[in-house]
Amino acid sequence: MYERAIEKLYRVNMNLQKGERLLLLTDREKPYLVDLMEEFLSVAQIITDKVDYFIYPSLKGHGKEPPEEVWRIAFGDKAVDQLKNLKLLDRVIYKEDYVEDEVLQVLKEYGENIPQVVVAFAYYSTTHTFFRKALTKLSCRYASMPLFEPHMFFGPMDVDWSYVASLSTDVADILSEAQWVHVKAEGTDIEFSIEGRKAIADTGLFHKGGQYGNLPAGEAFIAPLEFSAYGKLTIIFGPDRRLERPITLKFKDGAVEEIEGFESYRFYLESIFKKHEKARFIAEFGVGTNPKASKPDNVLEAEKILGTIHIAIGDNHSFGGINKVPFHTDYVVFEPQVSVGGKGWQKRLIEKGKLRT
């Protein structure tokens, strides 16, 4: 049913070549994702004869590291056994203190048959994991598709990728030059520092070793300084539904100090914060750049809507931040007013949902 769209993903977005090793990953959170694996496999085998796949139990949370079996299929038994001998693997998986360069050196020295391309359409995101970071550090091209729904093949995936790439790169350049961001919208008024951090363009074109991002793609994102956020962020949509009532996150010194409003999602967040104190901190600021993204109740697509912004809390150590925690979730703000600036300059980047590059 989706063969042509999947082939376009392989050839246009990933530039998959004959003879390259492709690793396909998903979880069992949604039966349709397990069913979709068959089509991903059959189309891939037309292009390359080096295809592996793994379907693992749901991790029940975004940003959690995949289980040991996934590390083994990606890096090989020798590398994983060495990490276990050094008592590093559990520290990585549970996001405890470890030296990233030490882990990368083991994977580089002992890793075998590391894939050139990974397409991960697990329901729960692997984007902001050290697993993804390690693979891309070792020249893998990595597409992460959390919360993916097949209808996206005919909306935000059916787009002019050269346009999306150009716009995303332009916005990323602006953010990389800026030192601060101020976002205002209905119920939202928040500012934070991005000084010294480098933005990333999620272009949807992963043709060179080390490139990664979401599919559908279409954003520029950056890791704010973790202790810099002040103000309030009102949430209308959770990751996969419209909330029954809006809730407001109040930030001080970079972290959510208080939640206002009564909605079940509030109590979910509070339970996360009790379990993982570092989940409170601002993690990401992103700007949507995909003109065919439109669905507001699925954050994978919503955060790509042209002219929206999103702010995440939780883990950001895999893309320029310093916060390690097994949680990362984005919240989209619609029709925002966004100003950015630095020493001696400032710019209105978004005016009532209209992007101005």
Q: What is the pLDDT of residues 102-135, one digit of tens each?
A: 999 999 999 999 999 999 999 999 999 999 999 9
pLDDT for residue 357:
86
Domain that holds residue 92: 3-146
Backbone angles phi, psi at 112, to 5 degrees: -130, 140
H or E segment and range at residue 49: none
Burial class of residue 52 in the structure, from the number of CB atoms within 10 Å of its CB (0-12 exposed, 13-18 middle, 19+ buried): middle
Largest CA-CA distance found in the chain, in angstroms, rounded: 56
User: Residues 136, 100: one domain?
Assistant: yes
- Positive or negative, the Cα torsion across 47, 52, 56, 59? negative
User: Residues 38, 172: one domain?
Assistant: no
H or E segment and range at residue 106: helix 100-110
Neighbours of 195 (CB within 10 A): 13
Residue 275, in any domain of the structure:
yes
pLDDT for residue 23:
98
User: Residues 177, 282: one domain?
Assistant: yes
The CATH number given to whatever domain includes residue 19 is 3.40.1830
Strand partners, 345: 342
Q: Which of 105, 124, 146 is the last residue of a domain?
A: 146
Contact between residue 293 and residue 287 where contact means Cβ atoms under 8 Å apart: no
Residue 153, in any domain of the structure:
no
Calculate Rg over the CA atoms of the chain.
Answer: 19
Q: Which of 122, 146, 170 is the last residue of a domain?
A: 146
Instruction: Find the distance separating the first CA and the last CA of the chain, reported in whole Å.
Output: 38
DSSP state of 156: T
pLDDT for residue 277:
97
User: Residues 85, 167: one domain?
Assistant: no
User: Residues 37, 127: one domain?
Assistant: yes
Using DSSP, how many helices (H) and how many strands (E) does the chain show? 10, 18
Q: State how far the Cα of 111 lies from the Cα of 105, in Å rounded to an integer.
A: 10
Number of structural domains in the chain? 2
Residue 154, in any domain of the structure:
no
Q: State how far the Cα of 357 lies from the Cα of 307, in Å rounded to an integer.
A: 11
Residue 331, in any domain of the structure:
yes
Residue 310, in any domain of the structure:
yes
User: Residues 181, 325: one domain?
Assistant: yes
CA distances for 121 relative to 46, 205, 241, 319, angstroms: 20, 17, 19, 20
Per-residue pLDDT of the chain (357 residues; tens, 9 = 90+): 999 999 999 999 999 999 999 999 999 999 999 999 999 999 999 999 999 999 999 999 999 999 999 999 999 999 999 999 999 999 999 999 899 999 999 999 999 999 999 999 999 999 999 999 999 999 999 999 999 999 999 999 999 999 999 999 999 999 999 999 999 999 999 999 999 999 999 999 999 999 999 999 999 999 999 999 999 999 999 999 999 999 999 999 999 999 999 999 999 999 999 999 999 999 999 999 999 999 999 999 999 999 999 999 999 999 999 999 999 999 999 999 999 999 999 999 999 899 998
User: Residues 76, 207: one domain?
Assistant: no
User: Residues 140, 257: one domain?
Assistant: no
